[in-house]
């Protein structure tokens, strides 16, 4: 794109270029109220090229858009994507026997005139196929949160490259409703309720060529009222910008869009158009009487793509970020309602963190000291017991020894006594013998005499 | 924390469109939204008093930023360097711009100008800090961007070269803000003098490795040619004027001299139009982008690194800069857990060993005592046996002797009995 050169338009005042609108009066009041005083210009300065400069930069940088398609297997999600973007995306039709819900995403580089778009299409595989569908929404919510988390992590890094970061956050979620003609399934309500605070939901009635026009009107009313009564917040096309307010509000009343997708072409008149051929007629995809496909394309791509991206960033992502930071213990103000500076917050966290680590270390040390003490006491007890045991044994031994001594002593005494007795007796004997001898001698003598 | 999932598909396929899709309208959508939001720009002017800073601002934006009701800083005499900001709201072609002009009266006016750049640096850093805090809040509403997007540095038209103050200032600020040096009051230099002056200045800038704002190359060759032409004219020599004079029937801004009129917007007289085109009409957005993506990110990473590394040598922590401070704390926590586990294992080991030692000692002393006790017991038993033996011997002996005695007694008795008998028989006399 060429740089805007010296402008020859010199009139002062307000020249409308392209679809530039005058600012809403509230906007002006807000700016002026911020301390900026309005001053008139004496000529053409040239900063009205700012939007062009910005646009140039965006075009050079390329755009990025991520769509999530949620719906049961067989509702024509892939076909609709192909039809919307007029190209053949990857993918084989999936079977109904998936054990759980998985999300598959593919990224494509598209270019239309000079605009490059990095489009990521995420498909839910196996949604609604299980017998127990209670956890169906979980993988979807996890996936969306994971994209937010990745962005948040990048944003929190010390050295970050947000400018060249490939944004994978989901900007729009097309929710495919089965064309039963009656009402929303409970799975639909549950899933949409879980997703409405995380992503822009655009509900669409899939394969709507199965419903007649009168049934369709009733179906749409039923769906809208069910969504409202269950408090499901679907994406509303913005009506605050004057240039698109009218078309957006009309379209809002046509929600949910009833679409038909087809990549096959049929000759109608002298043109080849995308259509589905039945024995009773041909459903033309781009015929506004036949289905709302054109409306969807207008709203999703041509008019509100940028708004979808902005909403994702300023509303859904901010909500996620706020919850996550609060979970991590961040606050904006301290108990005295003074605002924290980032440095203070991080320093406080770091101190807390270090304190925690030190406490853990201390605790472990203390535990060991305790154990050592206990074990020491135990061992001392054992030692004491051992000594006591051997003291007892020693005492026993002493007693035995004493008994032995006593016995020995008594034996010795007996022996002595015996000896004495013996010697006494022998002495007596000897005396007796002597006396007897002498008596015998006497007798003998007497005899002799 | 959840790891980056594989949603970022490694291979990006190219696809061709077979018909109208409509996203070529995206630029228009962006245009619409940006106009609705409005724009903001902060311009800082730095230079000694009397170099025509305020006049240049008025000329650039074709308005009386400083008027009788809002006198500019030049009207007031300052003793120290101040940093003053004025905010104005200007509208053109449906586009609204909130312009903040930051002036630095007193810069370079004192006799001792050491550190006169400090208030300027403090101001720039404080705006970055405000933005950092606003960006890091839990509840983020609006994030007003008051960061300084561009700094016009006014060089006095001496004709010789840069002054030491000029070099010092630009060296200190070139990695904090986009610096665009200008030759002020260029109508005091003839074209040849101006050329020489410019060459000299650029030479000195390169010598001192000062990084002034560089124009990015575009993909368009035509634009690149224009950009190269502008680059050759750097630094731009400007003239400003608040007065409109009539020249050849046209009303132009200029300065009236006895010898003619120096027209502000005449490309042959000065580079004012180049400056205006570059600053406002073509590169305003780029200045903001460079401020946001380069200077602010520099400030932010330095600030956060200081918080997490706590003054640790930065060469060691280069790898940590790819994480957020929190992720780093998590990693440190992980490291600490491993360290603790190891410590625990070690302490456990030592503990076990000591216990084993003690137990062994206890066992040994128990065994020793057992042994001794056994020995003593056996000793005692031996003694007992000995005693028993002795007793037995004694008993035997006693029994024998008693038996003998009994026999002797019996004999004696018998003898006495016989004697009695004999006596009775009269055999005894």
DSSP secondary structure string for all residues of A253-307? TTPSEE------EEEETTEEEEEEEETTEEEETT-TTT-SHHHHHIIIIIITHHH
Percent of all residues in chain A with a pLDDT value above 70, rounded to a whole number: 85
Q: Do residues B305 and B314 lie in contact, with contact meaning Cβ atoms separated by under 8 Å?
A: yes
Distance between CA A278 and CA A281 in Å, rounded? 5
Q: Domain B28-66+79-238+270-307: give its CATH superfamily.
A: P-loop containing nucleotide triphosphate hydrolases (3.40.50.300)
Per-domain residue ranges of chain A: 59-328, 346-420
In a mutational test of the B interface, the residue from A24, A39, A364 whose CB has the highest number of chain B CBs within 10 Å is A39
Q: Is the pLDDT of residue A7 over 60?
A: no
User: Which candidate from B284, B343, B383 shows the least CB-CB separation from A50?
Assistant: B284
Tens digit of each residue's pLDDT (9 = 90 or more) over A163-180:
888 899 999 999 999 998
Distance between CA A163 and CA B178 in Å, rounded? 18
Q: Is B254 helix (H, G, I), strand (E, B) or coil?
A: strand
Strand ranges across the sheet with B84-92: A37-38, B84-92, B95-103, B39-46, B150-155, B179-183, B236-237
Sign of torsion, CA B47 B51 B56 B57? positive
**Complex confidence, ipTM:** 0.71
pLDDT at position A29: 39
pLDDT at position A10: 32
Give kind and range of the element (H or E) at residue B41: strand B39-46
Taking the Cβ of residue B320 and every Cβ of chain A, the question of whether any pair is shorter than 8 Å is answered with: yes
Question: What does each C-alpha distance from A26 to A30, A248, A286, B379 come to in angstroms?
Answer: 6, 21, 40, 116
Q: Is the pLDDT of residue A41 over 60?
A: yes
pLDDT at position A445: 66
CB contact under 8 A, B405 and A425: yes
Per-domain residue ranges of chain B: 28-66+79-238+270-307
Range with the poorest average pLDDT among A231-245, A423-437, B35-49, B155-169? A423-437
CB contact under 8 A, B95 and A54: no
Q: Where are the beta strands (DSSP E) in A6-154?
A: 37-38, 63-70, 102-112, 115-125
pLDDT band at A17 (very low <50, low <70, confident <90, very high): very low
Q: How many CB atoms lie within 10 A of CB B306?
A: 16
pTM, 2 dp: 0.71
User: Which candidate from B136, B280, B289 shows the least CB-CB separation from A46?
Assistant: B280
CB contact under 8 A, B93 and A120: no
Higher per-residue pLDDT: B155 or A39? B155
Question: What does each C-alpha distance from A61 to A56, A157, B218, B290, B294 come to in angstroms?
Answer: 8, 22, 12, 14, 17
pLDDT band at A200 (very low <50, low <70, confident <90, very high): very high
Q: What angle do CA B1, B3, B6 make, to 5 degrees?
A: 155
pLDDT at position A311: 92
Q: Is B422 helix (H, G, I), strand (E, B) or coil?
A: helix
Distance between CA A216 and CA B209 in Å, rounded? 71
Chain B 261-280, CB below 8 Å of chain A: which residues? 273, 276-277, 280
Taking the Cβ of residue B345 and every Cβ of chain A, the question of whether any pair is shorter than 8 Å is answered with: no
Q: What is the least distance, in Å, from the CA of A240 to any CA of chain B?
A: 10
B355, HSE (Cβ side, Cα atoms, 13 Å): 16
Taking the Cβ of residue B412 and every Cβ of chain A, the question of whether any pair is shorter than 8 Å is answered with: yes
Return the closest-CA partner of residue A104 out of A134, A79, A73, A68: A68
Q: How many CB atoms lie within 10 A of CB B104?
A: 24
Distance between CA B346 and CA B334 in Å, rounded? 18
User: Which candidate from A42, A371, A411 shows the least CB-CB separation from B390?
Assistant: A411
Question: What is A59-328's CATH number?
Answer: 3.40.50.300
Concatenated DSSP letters of A345-411:
HHHHHHHHHHHHHHHHHHHHHHHHHHHHHHHHHHHHHHHHHHHHHHHHHHHHHHHHHHHHHHHHHHH
User: Which candidate from A31, A162, A297 shows the least CB-CB separation from B89?
Assistant: A31
Contacts of A5 in chain B (CB under 8 A): 277
Taking the Cβ of residue B392 and every Cβ of chain A, the question of whether any pair is shorter than 8 Å is answered with: no
What phi and psi values does residue A330 have, to the nearest 5 degrees?
-85, 140
Taking the Cβ of residue A8 and every Cβ of chain B, the question of whether any pair is shorter than 8 Å is answered with: no
| Mean pLDDT for back-to-back runs of 10 residues, chain B (429 residues) | 37 76 88 90 90 87 70 59 85 89 84 84 91 84 86 89 88 91 90 90 90 80 80 88 84 88 87 89 90 91 74 42 66 82 85 86 86 87 87 86 82 80 67
Taking the Cβ of residue A345 and every Cβ of chain B, the question of whether any pair is shorter than 8 Å is answered with: yes
- Dihedral angle computed from the Cα positions of residues B371, B377, B380 and B385, in that order, rounded to the nearest 10 degrees: -120
Higher per-residue pLDDT: B58 or A443? B58
């Amino acid at each position: 794109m060429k740089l805007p050169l010296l402008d020859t338009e010199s009139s002062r005042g307000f020249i409308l270029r392209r679809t530039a609108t005058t600012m809403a009066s509230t906007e002006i009041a807000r700016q002026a109220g911020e301390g900026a005083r309005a001053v008139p210009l004496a000529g053409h300065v040239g900063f009205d090229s700012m939007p062009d400069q910005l646009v140039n930069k965006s075009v050079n940088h390329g755009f990025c858009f991520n769509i999530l398609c949620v719906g049961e297997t067989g509702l024509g999600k892939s076909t609709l994507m192909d039809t919307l973007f007029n190209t053949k995306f990857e993918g084989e039709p999936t079977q109904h026997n998936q054990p759980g819900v998985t999300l598959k995403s593919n990224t494509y580089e598209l270019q239309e005139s000079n605009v490059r778009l990095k489009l990521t299409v995420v498909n839910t595989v196996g949604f609604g196929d299980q017998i127990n569908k209670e956890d169906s929404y979980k993988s979807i919510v996890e996936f969306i949160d994971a994209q937010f988390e990745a962005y948040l992590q990048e944003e929190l890094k010390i050295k970050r490259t947000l400018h060249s970061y490939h944004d994978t956050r989901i900007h729009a979620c097309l929710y495919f409703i089965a064309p039963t003609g009656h009402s929303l399934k409970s799975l639909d309500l549950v899933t949409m309720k879980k997703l409405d605070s995380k992503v822009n939901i655009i509900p669409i009635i899939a394969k709507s060529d199965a419903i007649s026009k009168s049934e369709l009107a009733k179906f749409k009313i039923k769906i809208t009222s069910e969504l409202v009564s269950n408090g499901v917040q679907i994406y509303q096309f913005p009506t605050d910008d004057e240039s698109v307010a009218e078309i957006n509000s009309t379209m809002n009343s046509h929600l949910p869009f009833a679409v038909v997708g087809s990549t096959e072409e049929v000759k109608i008149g002298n043109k080849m158009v995308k259509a589905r051929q039945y024995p009773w007629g041909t459903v033309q995809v781009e015929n506004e009487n036949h289905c709302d496909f054109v409306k969807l394309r207008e709203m999703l791509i041509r008019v509100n793509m940028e708004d979808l991206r902005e909403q994702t960033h300023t509303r859904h992502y901010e909500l996620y970020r706020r919850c996550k930071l609060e979970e991590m213990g961040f606050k904006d103000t301290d108990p005295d309602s003074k605002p924290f500076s980032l440095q203070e917050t991080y320093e406080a966290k770091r101190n807390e963190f270090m304190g925690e680590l030190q406490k853990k270390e201390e605790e472990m040390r203390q535990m060991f000291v305790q154990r050592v003490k206990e074990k020491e006491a135990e061992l001392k007890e054992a030692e004491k017991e051992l000594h006591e045991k051997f003291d007892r044994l020693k005492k026993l031994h002493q007693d035995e020894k004493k008994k032995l001594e006593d016995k020995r002593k008594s034996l010795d005494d007996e022996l002595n006594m015996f000896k004495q007795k013996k010697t006494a007796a022998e002495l007596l004997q000897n005396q007796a013998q002597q006396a007897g001898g002498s008596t015998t001698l006497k007798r003998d003598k007497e005899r002799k005499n | 924390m959840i790891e980056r999932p594989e949603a970022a598909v490694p291979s990006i396929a190219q696809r061709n469109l077979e018909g109208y899709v409509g996203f070529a309208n995206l630029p228009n959508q962006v245009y619409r939204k940006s106009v609705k939001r409005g724009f903001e720009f902060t311009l800082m002017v730095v230079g000694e008093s009397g170099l025509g800073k305020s006049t240049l601002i008025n000329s650039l934006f074709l308005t009386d930023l400083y008027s009788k009701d809002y006198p500019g800083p030049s009207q007031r005499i300052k003793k120290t360097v101040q940093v003053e900001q004025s905010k104005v709201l200007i509208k053109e072609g449906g586009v609204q711009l909130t312009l903040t002009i930051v002036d630095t009266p007193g810069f370079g006016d004192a006799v001792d100008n050491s550190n006169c750049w400090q208030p300027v640096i403090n101001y720039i850093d404080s705006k970055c800090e405000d933005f950092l805090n606003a960006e890091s809040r839990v509840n983020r509403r609006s994030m007003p961007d008051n960061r300084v997007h561009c700094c016009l540095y006014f060089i006095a038209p001496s004709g010789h070269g840069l002054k030491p103050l000029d070099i010092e200032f630009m060296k200190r600020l070139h990695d904090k803000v986009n610096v665009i040096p200008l030759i002020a009051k260029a109508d005091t230099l003839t074209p040849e003098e101006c050329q020489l002056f410019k060459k000299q200045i650029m030479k000195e800038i390169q010598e001192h490795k000062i990084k002034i704002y560089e124009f990015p190359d575009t993909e368009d060759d035509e634009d690149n040619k224009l950009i190269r032409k502008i680059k050759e004219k750097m630094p731009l020599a400007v003239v400003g004027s608040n007065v409109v004079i009539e020249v050849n029937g046209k009303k132009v801004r200029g300065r009236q001299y006895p010898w003619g009129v120096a027209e502000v917007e005449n490309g042959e007289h000065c580079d004012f139009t180049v400056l205006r085109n570059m600053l406002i009409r073509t590169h305003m957005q780029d200045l903001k982008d460079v401020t946001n993506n380069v200077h602010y990110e520099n400030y932010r990473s330095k600030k956060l690194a200081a918080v997490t590394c706590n003054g640790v040598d930065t060469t060691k922590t280069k790898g940590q800069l790819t994480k957020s401070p929190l992720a780093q704390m998590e990693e440190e926590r992980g490291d600490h857990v491993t360290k603790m586990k190891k410590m625990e294992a070690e302490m456990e080991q030592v503990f076990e060993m000591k216990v084993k030692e003690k137990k062994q000692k206890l066992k040994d002393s128990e065994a020793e005592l057992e042994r001794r006790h056994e020995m003593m017991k056996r000793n005692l038993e031996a003694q007992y046996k000995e005693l028993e033996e002795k007793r037995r011997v004694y008993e035997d002996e006693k029994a024998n002797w008693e038996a003998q005695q009994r026999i002797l007694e019996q004999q004696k008795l018998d003898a006495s009995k016989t004697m009695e008998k004999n006596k009775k028989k009269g055999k005894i006399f």
